[in-house]
Structure 1
Amino acid sequence: MVFRFSLSRQLLCTASPLLPSSRHSFKKAPVHSIWRATMATPARTQPPWKQPESSVPAKLKVWNSLTRTKNDFIPVDPEGKAVKWYSCGPTVYDDAHLGHARNYVTIDILRRILAGYFGFDLKFVQNVTDVDDKIILRGRQQHLLAEYKAKNPTITGEVTDTTVKAFDAYIKKNLPLLSPDLKPEDFNKESAEKYAAVIAGKSLDGTGPPTDKEAKIKMHLRTAGQAATSLLAPSKETPEDIAVFYAGAEDVLLPYLDLLYGSSINASDHSIFTKLTKKYEARFNEDMRALNVMDPDVVTRVTEFGPQIVNFVQKIVENGYAYQTSDGSVYFDIEAFENTPGNAYARLEPWNRNDKDLQADGEGALTKKSAEKHSDSDFALWKASKPGEPAWQSPWGPGRPGWHIECSVMASSVLGEQMDIHSGGIDLCFPHHDNELAQSEGYWTKAGGHQWVNYFLHMGHLSISGSKMSKSLKNFTTIREALARKDWTARSLRIVFLLGPWHDSIEITDDMRKAASSFESYISNFFYKILDLDVHPSTSSSEAEDKKMRQAFESAKSKLHEALADSFDTPTAMRAISGLITDYNSAAKSGISDDVSKEIARWITQILRIFGCDGSADPNDNGIGWSGVEIPAEAREFVHAASRERDEIRQHAIAGDLSEEVLTSIISKDKPAQLQDATAVPYAEVLSTFQENLKGLAERKAPAKDFLALCDRLRDLDLWDLGIYLEDRENAPAMVRPVDAELRAAREQKEAIARQKQEAKLRREREEAEKKVKLAEQAKISPKDMFRTEEYSAWDDDGLPTKDKEGADVAKGRTKKMKKEWEKQKKLHEEYLKGLGGS
C-alpha cells in the first residue's frame, strides 16, 4: 500500500554523537512505547500475541508494533532461515518525495541487514496500488483536462469564462473569507487583507503558530493566485502564452471540469487511469534505483488481483464477518468479528478506533457515507462503483476494492495464511494495517484467534527543519529534484537514516546534514589512508600496537553485533564503526601493520556495503573502500609517478641541493609510454608536461622557489582539474586521493575568503583614488572663492564671509571655523599652483 506521508503524529528521535568532534541534532522526544502508554486504554481485551516456536535460537530482537515492545525474531520457517515479508508500496499518482525515501530506504536497510548480516533467506513482496480514490480522481481529472485542452487549443472567450467559473468555485470551496463574486484583478488585494495572519506565518486568528490548516490555506491561496495571474495575462495568443495560461489555471480547472463531466466519462476504459499509474510506477522505480533501494522479489498490482479480491471478500462474508448493502457495497462487520473469542479490532492502535477523521481518510475521498452500515466504524471491503469510476464484476454488482482489502489479498495470495514481517510507514497503523489484520484474520478462520502477521515494522516519519511534506499540500521535495539539485546523494541520504532509529521520527536539520557529511568524510579519509598503503607501505609496526588494535577491533565487532541484534540499532552500529576508526587513527601514529589495517578496512567496507552505502558492490568480495575513494585505474601509473617526482623535487628544493644531475636522476625513473588508451591521455600529458617544465627550470637555473611553485601548480591546478588531489603529509610522501566534496568545500571557502580580501583591497584602493580625484578638484579652487555662495552677502579681502544672506553679521564662532578651513584650502591651492609651475 501507499506510504501515506503525514506528520500529524510526529515523533522526534534521540541519538548520540557519532564522531568526537560532531554534534547531532536528533531532537529528543518520547519513543513509541512511552507515547502510546499515554493513550486511552483499549475498550476490549487484546488477544495475546503468540511468539512463533523454533528449535533455532533467536538471532535478534525486533521492535514489534503488535506488542509495542521488542520480541525475539523467530521465523515461521521450522529451520529458522526463510523469512516471508510483505511491505506496503506506493500509490502511483505522483512523484515520490523525501518522506517516501525515509520509508523505502529505511526498509531497504533492514532488509539488507536481515539478509546480508544475519543470513536469512528473504522473500520480499511489495505491492503497487494502481487503483484507489486518489488515482481515480487524479486520472479522471487529467483525462478531462487533456480533452478540454485538445478541444480548445486557443484561449477563446469561452475558455476564459470557464476558467473564471472554475476560479469562483475554487474560492467558494477553499477560501471562504474571500468574496464569492471576487474578480481575479481584486484577488491579491483582498486575499492580503482577509488572510494577512496566514500570509505572515501565523494561525488564521493570528494568536498562535500555524498548523496544517494554515498550510492548506497557503496552498489554496497560491493556486488561486496562479489562476488569477493566468486570467489577467495581457497576451494569450502565442503557443507559449497558451501553455503558460493552462499551467497557471490547471489546478482550478481540474476539480471544476471533474465536477461538470467526471461522472460522464467512459470508466470501462481503464486506460484513462492506467496511463497515469504506469507513468508514475516507472518513475517510482527509477527513484528507488537512484537511491540504491533493491527491487522487490515479487511485485503485486491491485489491478492484477481482481478475481482474488472478489473471492477473498466472499469468503469473509461466508465466515460471518461482512455484509452487503443495497447499493452493492460490502462492509466489514467489526462487532461480529469481535464477538468471536480470540478476535480484536485495532490491535495496533486501539486508542484510535473511534477517530472519525482517520476512519474517513481510510475510506477514501470518493466514498459516500451509507445509512445501511451496522456501525460507523465498519469499513468497506468492496465499493459499488459510481458513474465515472472504474468497475470490476462481482456477485454484488460492478464495483472496485476498498483500500485495505487489496493488501490482505495480495499478501495472502503470495505468502499464505501467515507471514513473518509486514512493514510500512507509521501512519499506516490505523486504519490501514488494523483493518488489514481484522479482515485477513476473518478470512483465514471463522473460529477466531488467527495470527496473520507475527511482526509489524513501522518506519518513523521524516520532516525537514520542522516542515511537513505532503502531496496534498504540494509543498514536498521530490526525490528526483533533491538528487538533481545535488541536495543529497543516495549515500548521504542513507547515512542520515542510518544515524536515526528506524521506528522513530527524525527531523533533518542543518546540524544533522553536517553530522552525516562528517561521518561520510570520516569514513572516506580512513579509506584513503588504507588504500595508500598499496603505494606507500608502512615502514614500521609494533606487535604491541597490533595486539591493542585487534582488541579494539574485536570490541567494535561485538558492539556492532549487539546493536544490530537489538532491533537494528543502526545509530549505535555507526558509532561502533566511527569509534573503531578513531582508535585506529590514534594507534597508527605508533605503528600498525598493513595486514591489521587492511583487515579492519575490509570489515568496515563489508558492513557499509551490507547497509547499502556502496551501490551494488558485493559485501563479501574482500574489497576495501566505497565508490569515490579511488582515482581512475587509467590514471594511477602517471599520477603516482608525478606524485613521487614531486615529493623528491620538493625535498631537494627545500634542502637547497636540487642540481641538474639530481633532477635528471629523478625524472629518468618515469617515462610515459608513447601510446596510451584515450582515457589515460590527460594523465600522461600532466606527467610529461610536469617533467618538461622541470627541465626548463633547470636549464635557466631557476631558484628553488620556482620549483616549489611548479610543484604547487601540479597539486592545485593540473591534477585538481582532473579530479585528483595530492595531500601533502608531514614526514611522509603525499597521498594521492580523489577530489571530494569536503575538499571542494574547503577550497571554495578558501577562495571565498581570498575574494573577500581582494574585494576589500580593491574597494579601499578605489575609495583612495576617488578621494585623491576629489582632493585634486578641490585644490583648483582659490581660498578667496571657496565661500562665495548664496549663503552669504558680504566678504572681506580674503574672501571670508562677514554677513549672511539676510545681512546679519556672521557669528564669531562660525568665522573662526571658516578661517581654519580657509587656511587649509590656501595650503592645498598653493601646492596645486606649484605643480602647474605657478606662484
Structure 2
Amino acid sequence: MASQRRQQPPWDPPTSTSSANNSSPPLRIYNSLTREKNDFTPIYNNHVTWYACGPTVYDDSHLGHARNYVTTDIIRRMLQDYFKYDVRFVMNITDVDDKIIVRARQNHFLRQFKSAHPSIDESVVQETRKAVEEYISQNLKKISPTSNNIRGDIQKVEAADASNPVQPRAGVSLEDHAKLLMRVKTVVSAADALDYATSAEPLTPDEFYAMTDDVLSPYLAAHGDTSTFAHDHSPFKTLTTHFEDRFFRDLDDLNVRRPDVITRVTEYVPQIVDFVEKIEDKTYAYATKPDKEGSRSVYFDISTFEKGGNAYARLEPWNRNDQALVADGEGSLSKNTGEKRSDADFALWKSSKEGEPKWHSDRWGPGRPGWHIECSVMASDVLGPKIDIHSGGIDLAFPHHDNEIAQSEAYFHDKATGHQHQWVNYFLHMGHLSIQGAKMSKSLKNFTTIRTSLERGDWTPRSLRTVFLLGPWRDGIEITDDLVKEGQAWESKVTNFFIKAVDRVRNPSGTSSPPDTSALDKAKSDFDDALRDSFDTPKAMQVISNHITDLNSQMKSLSDSTLIESAKWITEMVQMFGLTSGTDSIGWEGMDIPEFSKPWVYALSSMRDTIRREARAKPFNPTSISGQLEAAPDAAPTKGAEPFKKALEDARSDVELLIKDSKPAKDFLDLADRIRDKDLWDLDVYLEDPDDPSRPAVARPLTAELRTQREEKEARAAAKAAEKEKKEKLAREKEAAEREKAKVKPEEMYRTKEWSEWDADGVPTKDKEGNEVSKSKIKTLKKGWEVQKKLRERLGVN
C-alpha cells in the first residue's frame, strides 16, 4: 500500500472557529481528558480532525482489535453520516517497536533454520531440546530444564495454577494466569513433538515445526548473528508489510471504512528527529551520555515540564507512578540505570542496541524513535498543532496518550509567553474485549483472529458489530452466551421486520392512506437523543427494537405507506451504523432469496397459497384449484435455478394428480406443507405464512436460526412422541398384566396351601393349621375378592 503521508493539514482551516452544527440539544461526548461529557465543538466549523492510534503490525488482528476499530468506525460514521460533520480521519501504522523487532528476528532465524533442515534429523531434535530447556529456565522456574519427563513435571508442579483455565490461585492476576497457561501449553506442545520425533510414527516436518516454533524461534534469535539488522531493515519490512496488508483486509471484511490518511513510523524518522530536537532545545528533554558506539538516548524531562506550568498524566494521573504500566510502554528503557533523572521520564529517542534497526541523527548518533513520539509527530504533521479527536483502546490512555500529550504540548509550548498549548480537545478511549476476564492479547495468545472467526462462522461482520453496538463504546465487553443471544435476537427481529416490509412493497395490501408518522417521529426523536448523549448506541438500538415491536403489534391494520416509511428510516440507520452496505432498497444483505430462484419460488409459493386457500373453503371443490394456478415461468432457468424449476414442476404434477383423483382437502393441505417443509426447505428457502390468512406467504432465505428453531421443534416433538410411546407401552404392559391376573376366578384365587377351609365364595375361613381366620382378616380378603371380580367384569372375562 502506497504511503498517503501529508506534510500539512488536509484543508485550509476556516477563519471562524465556531461550530457549524448549532443543533439543539448539542452533541455531548464523554471526554477522557476531562472525565465527563462535554459539548462537542470542533476547532474549524463543521470540519473535524481525528487521529486514531492504529495497530502494531507483527501478527494477525484479533477480536480485541475488532472491538477497537469497529467501535471507532461506528462513532466515525455517526459523526459523518448522522451529524454530517466533515471528518478527516488519520490512522498510524506502528511498523517499528520492540515487539516487531523481536518477532522479525525470530521469523528470520526460524526461516533460515527450516530451510537448512527440511527433514527432522538428530541435529534438529538436539537443537529443539536445547530450545525447550532454555524456554523452561526463563519462563517456568519451578520445572527442571533437564527433566526427562517434562510433561509429568509440569502436571505435578504447575497443576494448581494451570489446571483451571478460568480461576487462578489466590494472589495471581488473570493476565499472569493466562501467561502461565500459554507457557505451559507451549512447552507441552514442544515436548510432545520431541516424543513423536523418536517414536515409531514420527511427525512430518511441517507437523514438528508447527508444534515447536514457539520455543525454537526465540532460542534461534537469541543465539543468531544479529549484527546485520542495524542497516538491513528488510526482515522488519517484510513482517510489517505483510501484516499491515492483512490488517486492512480484515477491516474491509468487517465493513470498517479505511482512513483518509495512513502514516507509518518508518516514513517519519526525519520529522521525529526534528521534533525531538526542538523539545530538547526547550529543555523539556535531555540526552544521555554516549554509549560505546557514540549513540545516546533522549528522555522527556517530566519535572522540568511541570515546573514550566504544565501538567503531566492528564488522562490518568492516578497511574503516573505505576511502574508496571510504565514498563509495558517503555520496555527495557523503563529501568533507571542512572541515565534517567527520574523513574517516570520516558524515551523520545532510543540508542539502538545490537540486532535493532538504526536511523541516523546528527545530534545523538544512530538510534530509533521512542514509541510515544511517533504519534505526536505524525498527527501534528497531518492535522496541525491542534486536533479535535484522538482515540484508541483504553489501555493506551497511560502511559502512551499521556506521554503524547506531554511531549506535544512541550513542542508547541511558547516558553516566552508561558501560554499553555491545548494539543487535543477530546480523547475517546474504547473499552476492551475480554475472554474469561482477561484482556485479549497477542503476547498471551488468548485470542481468536478476525479472519479465523469469520471463516469458521463464529461471527459475521454484522453480528460482531451488533454486539458492540449493544454495549457502551467506552465500557469493556466480555463475550457471554447471553450477549451473543441478545445480538442474535436483535438481528433476527430487524430481519423479520424488513422481510414483512419488502413483502408489502411486492404485494401491497391495497390501503393507500398517507403515512401516519407519529410513532416514527417519536422513534426518531428518541434515537437522536440517544446519539447526542455521547453516542449511546445501546439506547439507540433499543429505540429501533421498540419501534419494530409497535409496528408488529399493528401489522394487520398498518397502512403500506406507514410501514414503508418506518422501514426506510430503519434501513438508513442500520446503514449509518455500518450493519449493511449502502443500498437504495429497504433492508439489508441476507434477507432475500437468490435472484435466479425468484421466478420459480414465487410461482411455487403462489400455487401453494391457492391450494391452502381453496382447501380450506367450505364446501371444498378440488377442480376449483386448477383454474387458478398461474402458468409456469417461460424463461429458461439461469445458472443455479434448475433445482427450483424442477421443484415447481414436481409440485404442479402432484397437485394435478390430486385434482384428477378428487382427493380430500387434507391431502392438498399435506402437499402444501410438503412444499414448504421439504421441497423449498431443501433448497434453503423458507416460506413464512403470515398471521393474516388473506396475505400471501413470504419467501425468505433459510438461516441458521430457522434451522435451529426447526431442530428444536422437531426435538420437542420427538421427545413428546417418545414420552407418549413410553406411556402407551406402560399402559399396554399394565393391561397385559391385568388380563393375566384376570384369568383367575375370584372363587379360586384363595384356594392355596395357605388356607384349609373356605366359604361358598372361596373366601378363607381357617388357616393351614385349622385356626379360625379373624374377622378383620376376612374383611381384607373379601375386599381382594371384590377387586378381582370387578377386574374380570371390566375386562369382560367370563
Shorter chain as normaliser: what TM range?
0.7 to 0.9
Partner of 1:581: 548
Q: Per-residue deviation at 1:283?
A: 1.2
Q: Whole-Å Cα distance in 1 between the matches of residues 201 and 104 of structure 2?
A: 28
Q: Does 1:701 align with 2:662?
A: yes
Q: Whole-Å Cα distance in 2 between the matches of residues 204 and 684 of structure 1?
A: 57
Aligned match for 2:702, one of 730, 735, 739: 739
Distance 1:113 1:333, change over 3 A: same
Partner of 1:13: none
Q: Does 1:421 align with 2:392?
A: no
Q: Does 1:725 align with 2:715?
A: no
Partner of 1:782: none
Distance 1:206 1:83, change over 3 A: closer
92-101 or 739-748, which moves further after superposition? 739-748
Distance 1:659 1:501, change over 3 A: same
Q: Aligned residue pairs: how many?
A: 704
Q: Per-residue deviation at 1:625?
A: 0.8
Q: In the alignment, is the contact (CA less than 8 A) between 1:542 and 1:592 conserved in 2? A: no
Q: Per-residue deviation at 1:63?
A: 0.6
Report the AA paired with residue 413 of structure 2. T
Where in structure 2 are the equivalents of 1:269-308 lying within 5 Å? 269-308=232-271
481-490 or 649-658, which moves further after superposition? 649-658
Q: Per-residue deviation at 1:748?
A: 2.1
Q: Whole-Å Cα distance in 2 between the matches of residues 75 and 468 of structure 1?
A: 33
Q: In the alignment, is the contact (CA less than 8 A) between 1:187 and 1:228 conserved in 2? A: yes
SS of 2:459's equivalent in the other structure is: coil
Aligned match for 1:690, one of 645, 651, 654: 651
Q: Does 1:601 align with 2:542?
A: no
Aligned match for 2:601, one of 635, 639, 644: 639
Q: Whole-Å Cα distance in 2 between the matches of residues 238 and 150 of structure 1?
A: 23
Percent of residue pairs bearing the same amino acid type? 52
Q: Does 1:481 align with 2:452?
A: yes
Partner of 1:796: none
SS of 1:729's equivalent in the other structure is: coil
Q: In the alignment, is the contact (CA less than 8 A) between 1:140 and 1:262 conserved in 2? A: no
Aligned match for 1:251, one of 187, 194, 214: 214
SS of 2:616's equivalent in the other structure is: helix
Distance 1:366 1:699, change over 3 A: farther
Q: Whole-Å Cα distance in 2 between the matches of residues 153 and 583 of structure 1?
A: 67
Q: Whole-Å Cα distance in 2 between the matches of residues 204 and 120 of structure 1?
A: 46
Partner of 2:638: 677
Q: Per-residue deviation at 1:701?
A: 3.0
SS of 1:412's equivalent in the other structure is: helix
Q: Does 1:195 align with 2:158?
A: yes
Aligned match for 2:324, one of 327, 352, 357: 357
Q: In the alignment, is the contact (CA less than 8 A) between 1:267 and 1:387 conserved in 2? A: yes
SS of 1:533's equivalent in the other structure is: helix
Q: In the alignment, is the contact (CA less than 8 A) between 1:235 and 1:241 conserved in 2? A: no
Partner of 1:385: 352
Distance 1:204 1:600, change over 3 A: closer
The higher-RCO structure (CA 8 Å, 6+ apart) is: 1
Where in structure 2 are the equivalents of 1:408-487 lying within 5 Å? 408-447=376-415, 448-487=419-458
Q: Does 1:397 align with 2:365?
A: yes
Distance 1:126 1:499, change over 3 A: same
Distance 1:597 1:314, change over 3 A: same
Report the AA paired with residue 107 of structure 1. T
Q: In the alignment, is the contact (CA less than 8 A) between 1:198 and 1:210 conserved in 2? A: no
Q: Whole-Å Cα distance in 2 between the matches of residues 440 and 467 of structure 1?
A: 32
Q: Whole-Å Cα distance in 1 between the matches of residues 636 and 673 of structure 2?
A: 28
Partner of 1:496: 467
Partner of 2:42: 75
Task: Return the TM-score normalized by structure 1.
Answer: 0.80
Q: Does 1:523 align with 2:494?
A: yes
Partner of 2:508: 537
Where in structure 2 are the equivalents of 1:27-106 lying within 5 Å? 53-54=18-19, 57=22, 59-77=26-44, 80-106=45-71
Aligned match for 2:73, one of 108, 118, 137: 108
Q: In the alignment, is the contact (CA less than 8 A) between 2:334 and 2:343 conserved in 1? A: no
Where in structure 2 are the equivalents of 1:155-174 lying within 5 Å? 155-174=120-139
Distance 1:744 1:311, change over 3 A: same
Partner of 2:109: 144
Q: In the alignment, is the contact (CA less than 8 A) between 1:362 and 1:432 conserved in 2? A: yes
Q: Whole-Å Cα distance in 1 between the matches of residues 729 and 162 of structure 2?
A: 44
Task: Return the TM-score normalized by structure 2.
Answer: 0.83
**Where do 5+ consecutive residues of structure 2 fail to align?**
1-15, 732-798
Distance 1:400 1:236, change over 3 A: farther
Q: Whole-Å Cα distance in 2 between the matches of residues 575 and 118 of structure 1?
A: 20
Partner of 2:308: 340
Partner of 2:375: 407
Report the AA paired with residue 106 of structure 2. Q
674-683 or 300-309, which moves further after superposition? 674-683
SS of 1:663's equivalent in the other structure is: helix
255-264 or 708-717, which moves further after superposition? 255-264
Q: Does 1:153 align with 2:111?
A: no
Partner of 2:6: none
Q: Per-residue deviation at 1:579?
A: 1.1
Q: Whole-Å Cα distance in 2 between the matches of residues 658 and 587 of structure 1?
A: 32
Q: In the alignment, is the contact (CA less than 8 A) between 2:603 and 2:633 conserved in 1? A: no
Q: Whole-Å Cα distance in 2 between the matches of residues 767 and 160 of structure 1?
A: 66
Report the AA paired with residue 664 of structure 2. P
Q: Whole-Å Cα distance in 2 between the matches of residues 552 and 561 of structure 1?
A: 14
Where in structure 2 are the equivalents of 1:618-657 lying within 5 Å? 618=583, 621=584, 623-655=585-617, 657=619
Distance 1:251 1:464, change over 3 A: closer
**Where do 5+ consecutive residues of structure 1 fail to align?**
1-50, 769-839
Q: Deviations over 1:513-544 (max 9, x none)?
A: 1111111111111111111112332245888x
Q: In the alignment, is the contact (CA less than 8 A) between 2:136 and 2:145 conserved in 1? A: yes
SS of 1:371's equivalent in the other structure is: coil
Q: Per-residue deviation at 1:483?
A: 1.2
Q: Deviations over 1:221-245 (max 9, x none)?
A: 1111111112222548999522222
Q: Deviations over 1:50-99 (max 9, x none)?
A: x975475364111111100111111111xx21111100111011111111
Q: In the alignment, is the contact (CA less than 8 A) between 2:600 and 2:632 conserved in 1? A: no
Distance 1:747 1:115, change over 3 A: same
Distance 1:210 1:354, change over 3 A: closer
Q: Whole-Å Cα distance in 2 between the matches of residues 393 and 403 of structure 1?
A: 17
Q: Per-residue deviation at 1:655?
A: 2.9
Q: In the alignment, is the contact (CA less than 8 A) between 1:552 and 1:580 conserved in 2? A: yes
Q: In the alignment, is the contact (CA less than 8 A) between 1:202 and 1:210 conserved in 2? A: no
Q: Deviations over 1:602-637 (max 9, x none)?
A: 0111011000010x315xx4x311112222333333
Q: Does 1:570 align with 2:537?
A: yes
Q: In the alignment, is the contact (CA less than 8 A) between 1:128 and 1:302 conserved in 2? A: yes
Q: Per-residue deviation at 1:157?
A: 2.9
SS of 1:182's equivalent in the other structure is: coil
Q: Whole-Å Cα distance in 1 between the matches of residues 165 and 705 of structure 2?
A: 39
Q: Per-residue deviation at 1:153?
A: 2.4
Aligned match for 2:91, one of 94, 119, 126: 126
Q: Per-residue deviation at 1:764?
A: 11
Q: Deviations over 1:132-166 (max 9, x none)?
A: 00000000011011112222223333322222222
Report the AA paired with residue 662 of structure 1. S
Q: Whole-Å Cα distance in 1 between the matches of residues 60 and 191 of structure 2?
A: 27
Aligned match for 1:512, one of 483, 502, 507: 483
Q: In the alignment, is the contact (CA less than 8 A) between 1:315 and 1:443 conserved in 2? A: yes
Distance 1:463 1:602, change over 3 A: same
Q: In the alignment, is the contact (CA less than 8 A) between 1:90 and 1:127 conserved in 2? A: yes
